[in-house]
Amino acid sequence: MELSSVIFAFALTLFAGLATGIGGALSLLTKKTNAKFLSIALGFSAGVMIYVSFVEIFAKARESLIVELGEINGSWLTVGAFFLGILLIAVIDKVVPSAENPHEIHTVEEMDGKSESHKANLMRMGLFTALAVGIHNFPEGLATFTAALSEPQLGIPIAVAIAIHNVPEGIAVAVPVFYATGSKKKAFRLSFLSGIAEPIGALVGYLFLYRFFNDITFGIIFAMVAGIMVYISLDELLPSAREYGEHHLSIYGLIAGMAVMAISLLLFM
């Protein structure tokens, strides 16, 4: 495996993870949340992830495993790994307390932070949300890294989709911290650093798995990546998109994301 491929995959994962800082910056530099834009963007991200998961990633995982294990065993292992990926991210989602879940919607307008007790609660919310973002981003980092390492042309749209998905998480961290401390610098820094777990997930996954990287390993991980991204889209992105804006806006974004992903895959054939 070439070092340049590993560096490229890691750079994409780093970009995707640190997009939480974009959300933090947006929440601190604007007086009003652009809910319609976020709704469309999150729907777009979900469209990219769902389309590429079913049309490209799952198919490539199945193809790789069938070559190595035969049609029946390869097909069963692909499906099993797909649902194992869903189970992994669902368990992680379950262990994060719902009050600090980074996918609870937060906007710039909703916090006032007048009382000291309220400020303390906001600070606690911000810190726990940063921790929750880190927990969620760990497997996402491995997913982005693996996809980019195996199929570089898939890595870019997946990294962009994950980055869009991380923007509202940055908002969820920065808004309560800013209104608790009054420090934009501290709020931005915490939102930015909360995305570090994504490249760490990539690094840890690579260090543990690189010795075992072969067609079977890639097939299993690829199928799990498809499951992780489908779960993220259905459980996090689409509900968040609907909360931020009108139902139709999120669906328009979803369809646009699918169309862009479909065209990009055709262009790289």
Q: Domains of the chain: which residue ranges?
A: 3-29+45-262
Query: What is the per-residue pLDDT for 262?
Result: 87
Query: What is the per-residue pLDDT for 29?
Result: 73
Query: What is the per-residue pLDDT for 137?
Result: 74
Query: What is the per-residue pLDDT for 100?
Result: 47
pLDDT averaged per 10 residues in sequence order, the chain, 269 residues:
81 88 77 70 85 88 93 96 92 66 49 54 70 73 80 80 81 78 83 84 78 80 87 83 76 90 77
Query: What is the per-residue pLDDT for 97?
Result: 54
SS (H, E, C) the chain: CCHHHHHHHHHHHHHHHCCHHHHHHHHHHCCCCCHHHHHHHHHHHHHHHHHHHHHHHHHHHHHHHHHHHCHHHHHHHHHHHHHHHHHHHHHHHHHCCHHHCCCCCCCHHHCCCCCHHHHHHHHHHHHHHHHHHHHHHHHHHHHHHHHHHHCHHHHHHHHHHHHHHHHHHHHHHHHHHHHHHCCHHHHHHHHHHHHHHHHHHHHHHHHHHHHHCCHHHHHHHHHHHHHHHHHHHHHHHHHHHHHHCCHHHHHHHHHHHHHHHHHHHHHCC
